[in-house]
Each structure stands twice: as structure tokens, then as C-alpha cells.
């Protein structure tokens, strides 16, 4: 069977969606399918931090503005009119993968979210239902995402819990970690404000960021880490991960952190709460700061309760989002859709 994964951003961007794509591609290749990855030569803000050849190995990869997709199944990262960039041949099954939550936000986000994303949202509000009807099926990664289509598959994101596990002891100084793009969507401004507040209070805390450079005197940046094992070490050595995201389809960072036995403080948005994970919730900068102090006190004064919380998080991720289980579900979906009725 020939399977084409079609991305609306370059694999070089190295975000969560791109990481998902190369992981799925390698799994399907190992399972004996003929896999090709196609992408548009676009990256938000021009960011290119990953070498596609390095992460894909011998899987063919093509970047162009217009692709002719000759495959049994084309899995297309959904954007309005995405099929105009990925022109499928006859009898090719088209699956729309909903990997952006911008379409389901309660209101239009600010321009800082990204002009292409804002335009895509506005288009979806106008033509989304008709646009999705041109696909044979729709894949959503979160139960909270609801689309109107006769064939909707819910298959969550996944992580390799053999890689994402406790690999390092906790650092001597209490450490708060941020992983992701330094963007409005991911709540980077909230993380920065929490660091400033607690530092000004004189609290002895280390603030680390993966995916960014050092930010002033408060936050030490580790840059982009493309090794899953090295990233797992960073998660493991931190005491808590701060993930103040305003918009998500899933929130892979949370699952990765919990699998490494590091608790997570995040926002109580529907896509987070639907994951059924033991997350700690906060809504404002002040609440995030207070929750950090609560976890710090738990770690220092009741270490057995902290460890119980950490173990609970890992168990929940292993049960619900381990790669072996989820990838089998994804493969079953592809196979079931390969031949049109």
C-alpha cells in the first residue's frame, strides 16, 4: 500500500505536528508500507531547526508548493483548500488530519498567533463544512474536537514511553521547565511573567526553556533539542513543567513530561481537560505562580506525596497514550480507508 503524508509546513519546522508526522512515517515504513512525506516549503517565522533527512532516514521527502499525490491513501494536514496544494490522483483516499485548534477557538486569536493561521480560521468559519466534505474521512486527535463529517476517527497523539521515562535525578535547585515555541499560543508571555514574579520575590528557583534561547536574567534557554532521549533527560531533571498554552489540539508536552515523572501545571481549556490526565490547572499569571510554589513545597516538605503525584502521571500516560497502542489504531484506520466503498 502507498501512503502519502502531506504537511502544510516544512518538516524542518520541527513542531509537534512535524514530529508526529516523521514518527508515523517511520512506523508505517517499518510495517512494510510504501511511505512518502510531502510538505509545503513554508515555516512560520522562517524557523528551520530539523534536517528532514536526519529524522526520516531513507523515507522519500519532497517540498513544493504543488504536489501530485499518486497513492492509495493521502493523509493531509487540514487547512482550508489544502487539497489544491496536494492534488490526488483518481481512487486515492483523502483523510483530513485536524492538527490545529485554531478552527475551534471560541474567538479569533490576535495577529500574534500568526497571520496565516488567523486567515485559515476565518476561511474555515465560512467554508469549513463544504471544504471537509471533499475528504473521505476526518481524523481528530482529541475528544474535545468536534467536526461535522460522516466518517470521523478519534485517535490521540502518542509518545514512546520507553524513551520518555525518568532518566535523570531531579536537579538540586527546584527547576521549572517550559518546552515549546516562545509564542502567544503556547503562553510564553505567561511563563516569562511567572519567572519575573517569583524571582523578584526572592524565591530560589531555576527557570529553564527548551525551544528558546536565554531570556534576560530570569530564564536559561537550552535551544532546540531534536533528540527524544535528551529531551526526556531534561524533563526528568526538572521538578515541574509549566505549560500555559492558550490553544491546543492535544498538548504533547504534557504527556511527555508526565511520562518522565514530572508534574505539569497548565490551563483548564477543554482540550487539556478531556485528556483525563492528573494535571494541575491555573488560569492567570498569579495562579500559575502560586501553583509553582505549591509544587515546590510538596517536593521539599512531603516528598512521598510528590512522588505519588509523579508516578500517577506516568501511569496515566502509559495507559492512554503509549505509542504501541495508538499507532496500531492509526494503522487500522489507514487500512480500513485504503479502498473506497
Of residues 286 and 212, more confidence is placed in: 286
Q: How confident is the model at residue 112 (pLDDT cuts 50, 70, 90)?
A: low
Say whether pLDDT at 16 is over 90: no
Strands (E) in the chain, as ranges, are 2-7, 34-39, 61-63, 67-69, 73-77, 86-88, 93-98, 137-140, 152-154, 175-179, 206-210, 219-221, 240-243, 264-266, 280-281
- Closest C-alpha to 306, from 263, 276, 266: 263
Say whether pLDDT at 138 is over 90: yes
DSSP state of 45: G
CB 237 within 8 A of CB 225: no
CA atoms of 153 and 325, how far apart (whole Å): 15
Q: Would you say the C-alpha torsion 77, 79, 85, 89 has a positive or negative sign?
A: positive
C-beta atoms surrounding 202 within 10 Å: 7
Q: pLDDT at position 341, please?
A: 57
Residue 46 dihedral angles phi and psi, to the nearest 5°: 70, 15
SS3 340: coil
- Closest C-alpha to 252, from 6, 17, 13, 5: 17
Intra-chain end-to-end CA distance of the chain, in Å: 17
CA atoms of 271 and 243, how far apart (whole Å): 13
Q: How far is CA 334 from CA 10, 21, 91, 280, 311, in A?
A: 23, 14, 14, 35, 34
Q: pLDDT at position 119, please?
A: 86
Average pLDDT, whole number, for the chain? 93
- CA count, 13 A, side-chain hemisphere, 57: 8
Q: pLDDT at position 185, please?
A: 84
Q: pLDDT at position 101, please?
A: 77
Q: How confident is the model at residue 340 (pLDDT cuts 50, 70, 90)?
A: low
Q: How confident is the model at residue 102 (pLDDT cuts 50, 70, 90)?
A: confident
- Closest C-alpha to 175, from 202, 206, 201: 206
pLDDT in tens, 230-246: 999 999 999 999 999 98
- CA count, 13 A, side-chain hemisphere, 341: 4
Q: pLDDT at position 121, please?
A: 83
Q: How many helices (H) and strands (E) does the chain have?
A: 10, 15
- Chain center to CA of 339: 30
Say whether pLDDT at 214 is over 90: no
pLDDT in tens, 36-83: 999 999 987 788 888 999 999 999 999 999 999 999 999 999 999 999
Q: pLDDT at position 226, please?
A: 81
Amino acid at each position: 500500500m502507498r501512503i502519502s503524508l502531506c504537511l502544510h509546513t516544512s518538516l524542518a519546522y520541527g513542531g509537534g505536528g512535524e514530529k508526529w508526522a516523521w514518527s508515523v512515517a517511520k512506523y508505517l515504513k517499518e510495517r512494510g508500507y510504501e511511505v512518502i512525506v510531502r510538505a509545503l516549503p513554508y515555516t512560520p517565522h522562517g524557523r528551520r531547526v530539523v534536517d528532514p533527512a536526519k529524522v526520516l532516514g531513507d523515507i522519500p521527502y519532497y517540498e513544493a508548493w504543488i504536489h501530485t499525490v499518486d497513492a492509495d491513501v493521502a493523509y493531509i494536514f487540514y487547512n482550508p483548500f489544502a487539497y489544491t496544494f496536494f492534488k490526488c490522483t483518481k481512487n486515492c483516499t483523502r483523510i483530513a488530519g485536524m492538527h490545529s485548534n485554531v478552527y475551534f477557538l471560541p474567538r479569533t486569536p490576535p495577529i500574534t498567533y500568526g497571520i496565516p493561521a488567523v486567515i485559515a480560521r476565518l476561511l474555515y468559519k465560512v467554508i469549513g463544512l463544504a471544504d471537509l466534505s471533499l475528504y473521505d474521512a476526518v481524523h481528530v486527535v482529541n475528544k474535545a474536537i468536534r467536526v461535522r463529517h460522516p466518517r470521523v476517527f478519534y485517535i490521540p497523539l502518542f509518545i514512546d514511553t520507553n524513551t520518555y521515562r525518568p532518566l535523570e535525578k531531579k536537579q538540586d535547585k527546584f527547576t521549572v521547565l517550559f518546552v515549546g515555541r516562545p509564542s502567544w499560543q503556547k503562553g510564553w508571555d505567561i511563563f516569562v511573567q511567572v519567572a519575573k514574579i517569583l524571582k523578584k520575590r526572592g524565591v530560589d528557583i531555576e527557570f529553564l526553556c527548551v525551544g528558546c534561547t536565554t531570556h534576560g536574567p530570569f530564564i536559561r534557554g537550552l535551544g532546540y533539542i531534536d533528540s527524544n532521549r535528551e529531551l526526556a533527560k531534561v524533563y526528568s531533571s526538572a521538578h515541574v513543567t509549566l505549560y500555559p498554552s492558550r490553544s491546543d489540539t492535544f498538548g504533547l508536552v504534557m504527556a511527555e513530561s508526565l511520562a518522565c515523572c514530572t508534574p505539569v501545571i497548565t490551563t483548564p481549556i477543554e482540550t487539556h481537560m478531556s485528556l483525563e490526565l492528573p494535571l494541575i490547572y491555573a488560569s492567570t499569571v498569579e495562579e500559575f505562580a502560586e501553583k509553582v510554589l505549591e509544587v515546590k513545597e510538596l517536593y521539599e516538605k512531603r516528598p512521598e506525596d510528590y512522588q505519588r503525584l509523579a508516578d500517577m502521571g506516568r501511569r496515566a500516560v502509559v495507559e492512554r497514550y503509549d505509542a504501541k497502542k495508538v499507532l496500531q489504531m492509526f494503522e487500522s484506520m489507514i487500512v480500513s480507508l485504503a479502498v473506497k466503498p
